[in-house]
Structure 1
């Protein structure tokens, strides 16, 4: 008889082995069954030094996912309130873009007076880093502060729509600073608290750097950066509202 497992053919000299048992591998012919079940490789022990890697979501994909995150359920009142806010900031933003680098329109906005305390605080904040940074700190903190709030809304509050408004504010601050830079060679913009033209931030900064003749170029760069940030905020906020509309519920 031939063994169904190992293929050994029982010989005459194997009479000492019980009938029905393979002399070669010792299995009982009648009880042996081939193992046809699929092998579960996940249950196999992992060899030492061998690692199995879980799928990893790319870092950029996680950032994009967080920036586009919206609530799973949005009530109608909140949604339409955000739509109204978006329209208001959209129109307001375009008034700054189309107005160009004009001190009368930019400085005449009440938002300039709201930005001014942050500008002055920036001088104090950066003053320990030397005179140059102390002067630059006013404009620098003015544009960085809204970015800090934007990150707080994204990471802590998980409110991406509010974050898009903070990006808008950052862009507006870049535009707000641009006429101040353009005025560096002339020092004609009136300063707060009756300060003389000797306290003109950008007049001093560009004079210290020997680049006073490039004031118009730097002003255009700051204005252009502000325009780009405003446009990004429009696109970001609008897309978030589109996604929220799909999750729109009742009152």
Structure 2
């Protein structure tokens, strides 16, 4: 320590007459200069109790939201130009197609007559078979359950495993459309008038499900809930895919 520097504890300045005291110690208060500095440095670097408690309260939430953003908003390091514009074209098509379903409301002719209904139908029927071991109720519900769960599972697979959030957004769109697809079926529960594969109204999934649960009086509520959930998922998926493409373009990854 410089002889003219004051003691960091008491402020005493060493004098020439203090040569009998070790230069590393303060002649006035006796502290060891270096140890004092080291201790002060550690105290300055260590967070206070309040800051630690605040960090413990905030960091899990912040960490969780950051982790979600890192997973579901991540983009690849580079994207070939043709692929980028191809996906932009797909986004436009699915945005228009999604609005077609949303604006049309629960219209069986529009929903059941869609090409996508024919694509979904095999998954719906497979769901019945898949859930047979869980009893009659689940076997009946399994058709509608599987047709909405399957694209949702693919969404997580694309996002978590393949790191492809645009494709995951498409799967979320499909999940939303699947909800819309079952809404006319639910709405028909009281009347059982829609054409069925079995050709027998006794095989009407939602007619049976709502009868078994004494919920036929809630038919409209359940049907419109399914429709609005599907509509919301479609809108979220469009925004998600759009943000992914925007982020890729903004970061110059094309």
TM-score bracket, shorter-length normalisation: 0.7 to 0.9
Using a 3 Å threshold, how does the CA distance of structure 1 residues 235 and 249 change in structure 2: closer, same or farther?
closer
Report which of the two structures shows the higher radius of gyration computed on alpha carbons. 1
Instruction: Please state how far the C-alpha of 1:211 moved relative to its aligned partner.
Output: 1.4
Q: Say yes or no: does 1:77 pair with 2:87.
A: no
DSSP-derived class of the 1:71 partner: coil
Q: Say yes or no: does 1:87 pair with 2:92.
A: yes
Using a 3 Å threshold, how does the CA distance of structure 1 residues 162 and 39 change in structure 2: closer, same or farther?
same
Matched-pair contact (CA < 8 Å) for 2:176–2:229: yes
The 5 Å alignment of 1:119-134 reads 119-134=124-139
Aligned counterparts of 1:98 and 1:61: Cα–Cα separation in 2 = 35
Higher helix share: 2
Equivalent of residue 214 in structure 2, options 210, 228, 245: 210
DSSP-derived class of the 2:76 partner: coil
Instruction: Please state how far the C-alpha of 1:72 moved relative to its aligned partner.
Output: 2.6
Equivalent of residue 237 in structure 1, options 214, 221, 241: 241
Q: Say yes or no: does 1:178 pair with 2:173.
A: no
Q: CA RMSD in A?
A: 3.4
Question: When the two structures are superposed, what TM-score results if normalisation uses the length of structure 1?
Answer: 0.79
Aligned residues: 227
Aligned counterparts of 1:185 and 1:196: Cα–Cα separation in 2 = 15
1:195 corresponding residue in structure 2:
199
Matched-pair contact (CA < 8 Å) for 1:74–1:247: no
Question: When the two structures are superposed, what TM-score results if normalisation uses the length of structure 2?
Answer: 0.78
Instruction: Please state how far the C-alpha of 1:112 moved relative to its aligned partner.
Output: 0.5
Instruction: Please state how far the C-alpha of 1:60 moved relative to its aligned partner.
Output: 2.0
Which structure exhibits the higher relative contact order, with contacts defined as CA atoms closer than 8 Å and separated by 6 or more residues? 1
Equivalent of residue 146 in structure 1, options 132, 139, 151: 151
Stretches of structure 1 that go unaligned for 5 or more consecutive residues are: 11-19, 43-51
